[in-house]
Structure 1
Amino acid sequence: MSSHSHQNLHSKLSAAGLLITLGIIYGDIGTSPLYVMKAIIGDSPISKDLILGGLSCIFWTLTLQTTLKYVIITLSADNHGEGGIFALYALVKRTKIQWLIVPAIIGGSALLADGIITPPISVSSAVEGLRIFKPDIPTIPIVIAILFVLFTIQQFGTKLVGKFFAPMMLIWFSMLSVLGIIQMATNLSVFNAINPYYAYHLLTSNVSDQGFFILGAVFLCTTGAEALYSDMGHCGRKNIRISWIFVKSALVLNYFGQGAYLLSHQGKTLTELAKSNPNPFYLIMPDWFQPAGIVISTLAAVIASQALISGSFTLINEAMRLNFWPKVKIKFPTDVKGQLYIPSLNWMLFFGCVGIVIYFRESSNMEHAYGLAIILCMIMTTILLNFYLIMKRVKWYFIAPLILIYLTIEFSFLAANITKFKDGGFVTLFIALILIGIMSTWFLAKKISKNYTKIVKIDTYKKVLAELSVDLSIPKYATHLVYMTNATRTDEIEEKVMYSILQKRPKRADIYWFIHVNILSEPYKKEYRVTPIVEDDLYRVDFYLGFREPTKINLMFKEVIKDMVKKGEMDITSRYESLNKNNIIGDFKFVLSEKFLSNDSDLTFFENIVMNAYFFMKKFSLSEEKGFGLDSSSVKVEQFPMVLHPPEIIDMKRIECTTIN
């Protein structure tokens, strides 16, 4: 996708675009009215200060955190149209500040970890509405069944389902608005909550038994803001900003409607209002509408989950391209740009979600665990955003107060959410820590491996390669022999490649090819360059691919050859006389080297842990040939020892043998 089409994506505004945005972007943040007010009130008796204070906190959180930070400021930080913490990291990486990888890995892992709790909490909150009609209904099997269907349909892509998503979310937000307006008409004093004094009063007095820590419940209203930024590439900045006006209005109207209803029941607790399902979201519905309301809520919750699953696929795809994650199989179920399916991640998320449902059982228990990981992600985004603004040469007197305000807000949320640790927050943090461990290990191992890869100048080997190519005393290995290389300079190659050609088993070929893949810090680009090193003997092809492009070297290399033949730069007819006469195309053979840790390596304790963990994870990751999209019938994989810190030269003394008469 060219930069011009990205410009179009972000400046294009259409009714269809706005509708699609509703279906894709707002699932997570849009379903928060299902559980936020319930979480804020908890077991406290309903009072004017508690309700107005809670609503004031929600209103200002949505205004400062979601609207100002994400919709207005962060959406401007797009990487050729794409958003999300890894896209932001790819942008600030240009500053050459090494440690920025830390917030990127922590943020990405935290976002993924919270992706495991969002589908269960949304679906459970919606399904629990059934208790209004049947108080003892077992909701766990229903929730797991819905999740199973949701994760099973991922492999078919969301193109078909997407057409249903957008109108459904339009119905959902319209329902939120109407329900809110009906309740507010009975009590307009609820609008006093716009005054931030009520938020301040709630947090600094003992109105609620949670005190300042009530912010942990308030934070649930903005958890989807990070996902909103991640999905920017699907809809465009302008569509998100305009549709957010409608979405925020619908959310505020519904929250205020719930508040108006609760103000007329002061002195009672939620369980006194409704024993079977004490959720103000369902209490504001007229009895006749409740069945339809539950169905709409459940569908909206499924869509919310879908948005997060798609976001997780995108996140892991980017992590692989940035060397943060082992190579895993990626499928492209539809021709929609950027839409992908990662089977291993899909089922990992599914079993994670089922584990959450079985462990917590109720949505109210999940609320205790929800939000702790995502606030870490938001803090990391703020840190990266700071460097993005510096990179964009924004004046320091604008950056400093802005970043300071957001770090204060977010660290306050973090402090309030820390109390959730013992109530289940440890679950998402534990998952995030495992993900941080995987990403850090993979990245460090790749770095260590690169540091100990010996690079040599191709010039030294030009003569011998040209002579080997015509040495008839060595049986021909292939017409075209292709090696993948990590050497970034065109005049260099790994020593192990030369060792494979000249020593491991001398490999005679008519033409040698070295292929290098450059992953760019922009999402969509497919370019290549051919460098003839020895005319008609040795060529190097450099591919320049965006970090969201699939690596299909087999197909791409065929296109390069086709283009070179068309331009008369290459004759790919077989060099065997009988085949040449009959215009048969020459054979292509790819040689890949698979490293294993040599026993001669003298590792430090830290390197030992990292490299052993790396080789363990490598067993479960995609093989090099599949990772590069090569046809296994034309690939030879060679085992190559990886020697880190070669041992000192062993000083040995020869003993002369005595002759025996």
Structure 2
Amino acid sequence: MAHRLSGDIPDMSSSDAIVKEENEEVVVGPSERKSSRQKLRRYDSLDLESRKLHGHDHDHSYAKENNWSVILHLAFQSIGIVYGDIGTSPLYVFSSTFPDGIKHNDDILGVLSLIIYTITLIPVIKYVFIVLKANDNGEGGTFALYSLICRYAKVGLIPNAEVEDREVSNYQLSLPNEREKRASRIQSKLEKSHFAKVFLLFATMLGTSMVIGDGVLTPCISVLSAVGGIKEATPAMTEERIVWASVGILVCLFMVQRFGTDKVGYTFAPIIFIWFALNASIGVYNFIKYDPTVLKALNPNYIFRFFQRNKMDAWISLGGVVLAITGTEALFADVGHFSVRSIQLSMSAITYPALICAYVGQASFLRKHNDLVSDTFYKSIPGKLYWPMFVVAVSASIIASQAMISGTFSIIQQSLSLGCFPRVKVVHTSDKYEGQVYVPEINYLLMLACVGVTLGFKNTTQIGNAYGIAVVFVMTLTSSFLVLIMVMIWKTHILYIITYVLTIGTVELVYLSSVLYKFDQGGYLPLAFAAALMTIMYVWNSVFRKKYFYELNHKITSEKLNEIVNRTNFRRIPGIAFFYSELVQGIPPIFKHYVDHVPALQSVLVFITIKSLPVSKVPAEERFLFRKVEAKEIDVFRCVVRYGYTDVRTEHESFEKILLEKLDEFETERVASHSNEENGVLDGRVEKEDIKAIGRIVEAWKDGVVHLVGESEVVAKKGSSFGKRIMINYAYSFLRRNLRQIIN
């Protein structure tokens, strides 16, 4: 059924839309009931009587961070998941830095010095020892930083925050007591500025889009670079054949995504470990054999001489040097699967030394073979190790691609939780490992994009230009968020903040300026990806907010609810009805349109809102928030179901069963509390009536459950601007009709 809502849309972010509501009905049989008792607490932020299930936080972060056997185990596992991207960078860094050949032998020392200090400054100092501390209850990435800021300052654009949210055990922030005034001033400015709120969300979308762009470019450059090495063994492998072989590997890689990474996860770490061991060993061999004097590159003076000799060309070459730190964001993004200490250990003890040895060895080789820079990696391998290294290189490139593709799926899931991405099917591929998801629609779009990029560019030089822009953009945004967290949350001393900005911030901006210079040489690609993705995110999020404000301003009051349910023409049906809505406060307006067309109601009504909090996870025992709505002759409840942005949603039947169990707990505790307060005044009459009410809920449960999902269609109202009509009537409508509309 359908019915157009009348009246104007309120001004706050929703002045250009009219909402049309539809209802779908699915009947589910009665669930097996198992009751448990738990003490509840009362809150008043929902205008009527409220309750919250309170329990203990079952966070295992203490064990992960303090048990050294666990840390060592996780450190080894992280090698296969976290470092595949940065670990395969030696395949193409020198060839991308010197696309026109080496003009002066000491330029090799300058570039090597740049590589060494860049890897030390960005992945190690910035990420391993600073950024990892900004994790959100163990979770990392752009969304983790944004969620920390949203929890500390009210910068969300949708007014669905509740007092009870801050009682969730993972919600609280541990804050120092010093430098409170500066932090409070920044917080106040953010909360009062609509521009600041929009800008923060915009920056988060941009960072997310760039990381998704990495998910396209990493498979292309990694596989193409690894497969390209086969031309050293046989001249019959032309560039065209290498490209098509790479495309075949990429298609196979995306086709097996539906099986989940845990099926082959245990093979990742040994392969990457072998890859690092071989790179380090070959690096040491080349260092000893060709030119041990390359250690002079530890003197940063060679960097200045490099720029003196090459000037503009040296600045341009930074776009190749920055490829040495591709995949660094994975250190932070994947911390939730491991732990801070395990990643610090694996990076410091294995990855960093292996990379330095590899680059030092390649530099030593190039000092004697300037003319072989275009194929540095494979040319520098001793003859007997060529085929083993080729096999391991291809395997490592596939693993690096796998990690970025899986990371893209996780990012899409997080975007969904913030209402920033159209609803798509998210499949959880592992019961053993949290966070491993597969998104079919995105998988095939990524595959098509990877194949198109590989066939279009055919070489790693232009792909490297595009890759560099995506990498540095994300790093710069991370630094911007981190400075905000330093000021507001950590309350870091101003001298440390200035030092961070002047060193790491300046280095990243210099690299950013260099990679942007190659915009017309492939650098436009990630920006084009980002523009397309951000358009989708903006359209969806903007209309999502318009719908929310409409429902908020047209919600049904308790008085109106009683007026509706007490009509004489209503038929009472045994059972429980679940009404799903995105509205947190009040009864959604869809309810009125339902009863106008279906003059029958179940004996128990539960209005359910599934809501994401700005935290990574919500403990299961703190997930449900109930209140009893004051209604006559019918039992009406409001239920807010709270998830974190990395929480796994339960399956439908399990969700229903748990919700009904928690509802029973809530009503039992409510009755007990109410009876204790009123008993003696009403001679126990309240207690008897409430106990009878509990009986009605139990009986309704046995009679079955009806799920009612409201599906909204938004159209621009008359008088809207041309741009807003295009966005609402066409762009949003296209996304809505071609993607899934489901309650996650």
TM-score of the two chains, using structure 1 as the length reference: 0.87
What does residue 579 of structure 1 align with?
none
Q: Deviations over 1:308-340 (max 9, x none)?
A: 011101111001101111110011111111111
- Partner of 1:493: helix, strand, or coil? coil
- Say if 2:146 is the partner of 1:146: no
Return the match for 1:313 from 405, 409, 421.
Answer: 409
TM-fit CA distance, 1:589: 1.9
Asked whether the equivalents of residues 626 and 637 of structure 2 are also in contact (C-alpha less than 8 Å), the reply is yes
1:580 matched residue in structure 2: none
2:169 paired residue number: none
Q: Does the alignment pair 1:539 with 2:637?
A: yes
Secondary structure in 2 matching 1:619: helix
Q: How far apart, in 2, do the equivalents of 1:287 and 1:600 lie?
A: 71
Secondary structure of residue in 2 paired with 1:269? helix
Q: Deviations over 1:31-87 (max 9, x none)?
A: 000000111222223633211001000001101111111111111110111101112
2:229 counterpart of 1:129: yes
**Matched AA of 1:217:** G
Out of 295, 300, 303, the residue aligned to residue 396 of structure 2 is 300
Alignment-derived partner of residue 156 in structure 1: 259
- Paired with 1:617 and 1:248, the residues of 2 have a C-alpha distance of 44
The question of 1:371 aligning with 2:426 is answered no
| Aligned: 1:107 with 2:170 | no
SS at match of 2:425: coil
Give the counterpart of 2:293 among 189, 198, 207: 189
Secondary structure at the counterpart of residue 129 of structure 2: helix
Change (3 A) 1:12 1:216: farther
Deviation digits for residues 145-203 of structure 1 (CA, Å, limit 9, x no counterpart): 21122112211111121110011111011011100111111322111111111122213
Change (3 A) 1:597 1:42: closer
1:270 aligns with 2:409: no
1:481 aligns with 2:577: yes
Comparing 94-103 with 437-446, greater Cα deviation is found at 94-103
CA contact under 8 A between 1:11 and 1:237: conserved in structure 2?
no
Question: 1:618 deviation in Å?
Answer: 1.0
Cα deviation for residue 465 of structure 1 reads 5.0
Q: CA deviation at 1:600?
A: 4.9
- SS of the residue corresponding to residue 708 of structure 2 reads strand
Change (3 A) 1:4 1:605: same
Answer yes or no: is 1:400 the counterpart of 2:482: no
Q: Which one is further off, 69-78 or 35-44?
A: 35-44
2:571 equivalent to 1:467:
no
**Aligned partner (choices 411, 427, 438) of residue 341 of structure 1:** 438
Match among 605, 619, 633 for residue 737 of structure 2: 619
Distance 2:385 2:409 in 1: 36
Number of the residue aligned with 2:164: none
Specify the SS of the correspondent of 1:371.
helix
Q: How much has 1:24 moved relative to structure 2? A: 0.7
Instruction: Check 1:10–1:88 CA distance in 2 against 1; reply closer, same or farther (3 A cut).
Output: farther
Shift of 1:297: 0.6
Query: For 1:142 and 1:315, how far apart are their aligned partners in 2?
Result: 29
Instruction: Flag the structure with more relative contact order, 1 or 2, with Cα contacts below 8 A and sequence separation at least 6.
Output: 2
1:80-91 matched pairs, under 5 angstroms: 80-91=137-148
Distance change >3 Å, CA 84–CA 3, structure 1 → 2 = farther
- 1:504 CA drift (Å): 3.5
Q: Is the 8 A contact 1:46 1:262 kept in 2?
A: no
CA shift, 1:132, in A, is: 0.7
Moved more, 245-254 or 407-416: 407-416
Matches within 5 A, 1:422-501: 422-453=520-551, 454-456=553-555, 458-465=557-564, 467-468=566-567, 471=568, 473-476=569-572, 479-489=575-585, 492-501=586-595
- SS for the counterpart of 1:456 is coil
Q: Distance in 2 between matches of 1:45 and 1:616?
A: 51
Does residue 232 of the first structure (1) align with residue 335 of the second (2)?
A: yes
Tell me the distance in 1 between the aligned counterparts of 2:347 and 2:103.
31
Per the TM alignment, residue 608 of structure 1 is displaced from its structure 2 partner at its CA by: 2.2
**Is the CA contact (8 Å cut-off) linking 1:12 and 1:236 kept in structure 2?**
no
Deviation at 1:477, TM superposition (A): 5.8
What amino acid does structure 1 have at the position aligned with 2:229? Answer: G
State the 1:563 CA deviation: 4.5
For 2:660 and 2:58, how far apart are their aligned partners in 1?
Answer: 27
In 2, distance between residues paired with 1:53 and 1:383? 29
Match of 1:119 in 2: 219
Q: Over residues 190-222 of structure 1, what are the superposed CA-to-partner deviations in whole Å (9 max), with x where a residue is unaligned?
A: 111111111222134328x82211111100001
Q: 1:598 to 1:237 in 2, by over 3 A?
A: closer
Once the two structures are overlaid, the 10-residue window that deviates more, 508-517 or 594-603, is 594-603
- CA apart distance, 1:507: 3.0
Amino acid at match of 1:514: F
Code of the residue aligned with 1:506 in structure 2: it is P
Partners of 1:53 and 1:81 in 2: CA distance: 38
Match of residue 24 from structure 1: 81
Q: CA deviation at 1:537?
A: 1.4
From 348, 361, 368, the equivalent of 1:257 is 361
1:28/1:118 contact within 8 Å kept: yes
Which region of structure 1 is more displaced relative to structure 2, 163-172 or 414-423? 414-423
Q: 1:576-603 deviations in whole A, cap 9, x for unaligned?
A: xxxxxxxx92132222222223575442
**Alignment deviations for residues 493-519 of structure 1 (CA, whole Å, 9 cap, x no partner):** 223323423x24333221111111221
d(CA) in 2 for partners of 1:230, 1:240: 11
Pairing partner for 1:604 from 671, 696, 721 = 721
Does structure 1 residue 511 correspond to structure 2 residue 604? Answer: yes
CA separation in 1, counterparts of 2:288 and 2:695? 78
Q: Which moved more, 1:394-403 or 1:66-75?
A: 394-403
**Aligned mate of 2:122, from 65, 68, 73:** 65
- Alpha-carbon contact 2:107-2:306 (below 8 Å) kept: yes
Counterpart of 1:361 in structure 2 is 458
Secondary structure of 1:430's partner?
A: helix
CA spacing shift, 1:219–1:516, aligned 2, 3 Å: same
For 1:346, what is the secondary structure of its paired residue? helix
Question: d(CA) in 1 for partners of 2:637 and 2:450?
Answer: 50
Superposition deviation, residue 574 in structure 1? 5.7
1:204 and 1:443 mapped to 2: Cα distance?
49
State the distance in 2 between where 1:300 and 1:212 align. 30
Between the two proteins, the alignment pairs up a number of residues equal to 603
Q: Matched residue of 2:438: which SS?
A: coil
Query: 1:546-605, CA deviations, whole angstroms, 9 ceiling, x for partnerless residues?
Result: 111234465323212134457684545666xxxxxxxx9213222222222357544234
Aligned partner of 1:524: which letter? K
Q: Deviations over 1:426-485 (max 9, x none)?
A: 1221111101111121111112222333333532134335535xx5x4344663222113
* Contact preservation (8 Å) 1:79, 1:523: yes
Give how far 1:227 is off: 2.1
1:641 maps to which residue? Answer: none
| Residue 444 to residue 57, structure 1, CA distance change in 2 (3 Å) | same
Q: Which deviates the most, 608-617 or 27-36? A: 608-617
* Structure-2 change in CA distance of 1:2 and 1:162 (3 Å): farther
Shift in CA distance, 571/12, structure 1 to aligned 2, threshold 3 Å? farther
Residues in 1 aligned to 2:517 and 2:717: alpha-carbon distance in whole angstroms: 49
Give 1:232 deviation, angstroms: 1.0
8 Å contact 1:81–1:233 — kept in the other structure? yes
Matched, 1:243 2:346: yes
Partner secondary structure for residue 452 of structure 1? helix
Structure 2 unaligned regions, length at least 5: 1-55, 156-189, 191-196, 669-690
Structure 1: distance between partners of 2:462 and 2:663: 63
CA contact (8 A) 1:93 1:100 kept: no
Question: 1:33·1:221 contact (CA, 8 Å) conserved in 2?
Answer: yes
Per-residue CA deviations over 1:373-431 (Å, capped at 9, x if unaligned) read 22111111111111111122112221123123333211211111122211111122111
Cα distance in 2 for residues equivalent to 1:623 and 1:199: 55
- Tell me the SS of whatever aligns to 2:352: helix
Which residue in 2 is equivalent to 1:649? none
**CA distance in structure 1 between the aligned counterparts of 2:200 and 2:303, rounded to whole angstroms:** 34
Q: Could you tell me whether the CA contact under 8 Å between 1:483 and 1:592 is conserved in 2?
A: yes
- Supply the AA of the counterpart residue of 2:590: K
User: Per the alignment, in what secondary structure is the counterpart of residue 540 of structure 1?
Assistant: strand
Change (3 A) 1:386 1:478: farther
**Given the two structures, how large is their TM-score scaled by the length of structure 2?**
0.77
Q: Secondary structure at the match of 1:123?
A: helix
Structure 1 letter corresponding to 2:645: F
